[in-house]
């Protein structure tokens, strides 16, 4: 997946003429100027440039002209990455019940996803994992002390994220929390590379984007949550935790 995204970043930048534009410019160009020149949206251009910088194809400096590294470009063209991952396994639910023997876990998802998860990944022996079919934007959410939204919010616009978080806040018991599992961007947008690539992928597949911890904090605050903290894990996905008073 990541190898495919890298190739698309390189090819798209070449097809749009981004590198030629920067090389021919007499001064540094902003994302807005580049977007106007190549005929793309500012948002999409910012994500593409961030991914190029993460791949070391562009060197971004505040007061210097951005340039390209042809050696790095050729290296990427000869490199292939292949990554397989599976979903709907309920691995997080299993980890929670293993780490906290006294807790019960409810998996909330669309009916088809729930049926697949129940039929293929769970046995009747594990009574502490339950299932709840529904649409989290429309159907009532079950009450709980902790809600884990794993790789959910990055699919949606800010407004839709706030709507969902408000529904979670309403259903959450006083003193409870919400945990977001997402790939966090650095506050200055300089990385991590995987999060930059994922954010660019969100542009063409969903309404959403990858966000920084501060951006998630703003969404959580708008939904009524407090005591917000985050942790970079050093792996693909990071954590943002917030509390309901």
In 3D, which of 226, 237, 71 has the Cα closest to residue 154? 237
Active site residue 230: no
In a domain, 130, yes or no: yes
In a domain, 226, yes or no: yes
Question: Is the alpha carbon torsion for 166, 170, 171, 177 positive or negative?
Answer: positive
Domain ranges, residue 137 = 83-244
18-70 pLDDT per residue, tens = 888 888 887 778 888 888 998 988 888 888 888 888 877 776 654 433 444 44
> Is the pLDDT reported for residue 178 higher than 50?
yes
**How is residue 228 written in tokens?**
């917000």
| 118 and 238, same domain (yes or no) | yes
| 129 and 32, same domain (yes or no) | no
pLDDT at 124: 59
Q: Find the length of the chain.
A: 245
Give the CATH number, domain containing residue 37.
Answer: 1.10.10.10
**Residue of 105 and 163 predicted with greater confidence:** 163
**How is residue 42 written in tokens?**
């500012």
pTM (whole model) above 0.85: no
Is 183 within 8 Å of 238 (Cβ atoms)? yes
The CA distance from 145 to 225, in Å, is 14
In a domain, 76, yes or no: no
User: At 164, is the secondary structure helix, strand, or coil?
Assistant: helix
In 3D, which of 155, 127, 130, 158 has the Cα closest to residue 144? 130
pLDDT at 69: 47
């Amino acid at each position: 997946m990541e190898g495919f995204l890298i190739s698309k970043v390189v090819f798209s930048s070449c097809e749009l003429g981004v590198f030629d534009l920067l090389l021919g410019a007499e001064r540094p160009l902003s994302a807005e100027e580049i977007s106007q020149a190549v005929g793309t949206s500012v948002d999409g251009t910012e994500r593409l440039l961030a991914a190029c910088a993460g791949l070391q194809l562009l060197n971004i400096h505040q007061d210097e002209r951005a340039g390209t590294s042809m050696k790095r470009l050729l290296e990427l063209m000869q490199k292939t990455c292949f990554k397989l991952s599976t979903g709907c396994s309920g691995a997080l639910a299993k980890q929670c019940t293993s780490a906290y023997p006294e807790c019960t876990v409810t998996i909330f998802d669309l009916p088809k996803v729930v049926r697949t998860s129940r039929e293929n990944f769970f046995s009747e022996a594990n009574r502490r994992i339950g299932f709840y079919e529904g649409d989290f934007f429309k159907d009532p959410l079950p009450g709980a002390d902790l809600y884990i939204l794993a790789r959910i919010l990055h699919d949606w616009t800010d407004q839709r994220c706030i709507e969902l978080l408000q529904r979670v806040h309403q259903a959450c018991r006083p003193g409870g929390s919400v945990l977001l599992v997402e790939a966090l961007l650095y506050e200055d947008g300089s990385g991590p590379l995987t999060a930059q690539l994922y954010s660019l992928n969100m542009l063409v597949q969903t309404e959403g984007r990858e966000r920084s911890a501060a951006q998630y904090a703003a969404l959580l605050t708008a939904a009524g949550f407090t005591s917000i903290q985050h942790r970079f894990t050093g792996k693909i996905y990071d954590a943002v935790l917030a509390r309901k008073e």
